[in-house]
Amino acid sequence: MYNLFKLNNGLRVVVENIDYVNSVSVGLWVENGSRNEDKTNSGISHFIEHMFFKGTKKRTALEIAECIEDVGGQINAFTGKEATCFYIKALDSHLELSLDVISDMLFNSKFSTEDIEKEKGVVIEEINMNEDSPEDVLSDLHSEAIWGEDPISLPILGDIDTVKSFTKDQIEKYISSYYIPENSIISIAGKFDMSNIEKLVEKYFGHWNSNNKKITIYSKPELQQNHLFKKKSIEQLHLSLGIPGIETGNDNIYTLLLLSNIFGGGASSILFQKIREEKGFCYSIYSYVSAFNNTGVLNIYTSLNPKYAADVVFTIKEEVEKFTKTGVSKEKLAKAKEQLKGSYILGLESTSSRMFNNGKSVLFLNRINTPEQIIEKINKIDEESLNFIMKKSFGKGIINSAFVGEKVDLSLVTDIIQKDTVPFKNSKSEQV
């Protein structure tokens, strides 16, 4: 049973009662992430997420963790490009404790100068760890290639110089601007008393207000045609290719997800069978959809020996063009629908996944997308919608790319992407 209501201060609350479980998941969603930042404060949203765990007027950092873990619960948070979420999963008997702890972190965090300086070191180590991961470096580099100077291209962690610059005053002013009820959602899923839930949320969040409000309104960035390379001393070349996608809230996203699954979603996909099984160029290759407010992209990722870069980029481009022309048969469409429905439903097998699904939906779309509604949208995918999205996405071809590794002939692979180039049949061309 679902319910969506709003407190007098503008805070939206979405609840889903699941009476056959014995757990409850509570999440505070704030429509604020790296996309709200600029180059002078890049990473501040992620840093603030860390600071909310460093102690309040009522609890030390240890006590915040202990009071949930001592009752068998889990507490965590994450920051993305467009949202930050603080969440707790616990037995249903500890719902009020969960609300108490999250509200305490939100309203009573101390942000002591000593803790801020200490946490700078922690986050800088996280940035260094990110730099040691080629996949993470590639993700940030490709974001820059896709969106250029738009704030959505900024790295979620920020950079070492911006992290070092954060002050207590800067943090508190940022929180008072973006951490406001109008930008936020409380999402609760699991077993609880529906008749008392509104009063309980009101008790802990009803007084929330701010005089320095900045309602989040995101830009409409155009996808750029950039091709970037970052040198790292590693054996393999990691690459990411970008195809135009679909923005959050567009029901055509399910059609694109289906097409992506067919093209690069698993071991039976076109990319896996062609690039790995037939050609033997790589161990792993896949495509995935990234949807955001007002923009979206379909990414193709793989890692391989640099000497195969030209061959692989050409083969992927060739398969994109072939996929666009041949389309999807009725038999394949039926199977792909079942695969998409199955992965979606299996992904909702816990109260925390339900909480995430509901919270994100209401935060960005101001509505609940029930599993039944999603399944109906998937069932409605037909030849007409497939052709429409195929033309809008795959039909535009690869428009940007990023490469991370020891060497690559960037001008060569860029030329392959941008022009009708002669195939590089097992050329193993020299990379520079």
Which of 297, 138, 334 minimizes the C-alpha distance to 222? 297
- Residues acting as catalytic residues: 49
Quote the CA–CA distance of 78 and 384 in Å, as a whole number: 38
Segments of the chain with pLDDT less than 50: 421-432
Judge contact between 41 and 370, C-beta under 8 A. no
91 φ, ψ to 5°?
-60, 150
Encoded tokens for 278: 């037939």
Task: Quickly tell me which residue has 């679902």 as its tokens.
Answer: 2
Residue 266 CA, distance from chain mean position: 20
Task: Quickly tell me which residue has 């950079």 as its tokens.
Answer: 159
Quote the CA–CA distance of 29 and 185 in Å, as a whole number: 5
Burial code (b: 16+ CB inside 10 Å, e: under 16) for 223-251 equals bbbbbbbeeeeeebbbbbbbbbbbebeee
Judge contact between 50 and 119, C-beta under 8 A. yes
Judge contact between 246 and 296, C-beta under 8 A. yes
- Read out DSSP for 318-374? HHHHHHHHH---HHHHHHHHHHHHHHHHHTTSSHHHHHHHHHHHHHHHSS---HHHH
Sheet holding 282-292, edge to edge: 227-231, 400-405, 237-244, 295-304, 282-292
42 by DSSP, 3-state: which? Answer: coil
Judge contact between 422 and 428, C-beta under 8 A. no
Contacts 24+ apart (CB under 8 A), 47-50: 47/119, 47/120, 47/123, 47/158, 47/163, 47/166, 47/171, 48/84, 48/171, 48/174, 48/175, 48/179, 49/77, 49/78, 49/79, 49/84, 49/86, 50/119, 50/122, 50/123
45 by DSSP, 3-state: which? Answer: helix
Burial code (b: 16+ CB inside 10 Å, e: under 16) for 128-163 equals eebeeebebbbbbbbbbbbbbebbbbbbbbbeeebb
The 10 Å Cβ neighbour count of residue 391 is 11
Query: Is residue 96 packed enough to be buried (19+ CB in 10 Å), middle (13-18) or exposed (0-12)?
Result: middle
Domains of the chain (ranges, CATH numbers): 2-205 (3.30.830.10), 227-418 (3.30.830.10)
The 10 Å Cβ neighbour count of residue 284 is 11
pLDDT (0 to 100) of residue 5? 96
pLDDT (0 to 100) of residue 314? 96
Q: 380: Cβ–Cβ under 8 A, 6 or more apart, which residues?
A: none
Encoded tokens for 411: 């001008």
Residue 5, strand partner residues: 13
Instruction: Give me the torsion for CA of 44, 49, 54, 59, rounded to 10°.
Output: 140
pTM of the model: 0.93
186 by DSSP, 3-state: which? Answer: strand
Alpha carbon distance, N-terminus to C-terminus of the chain: 59
Quote the CA–CA distance of 127 and 136 in Å, as a whole number: 10
28 by DSSP, 3-state: which? Answer: strand
pLDDT (0 to 100) of residue 420? 63
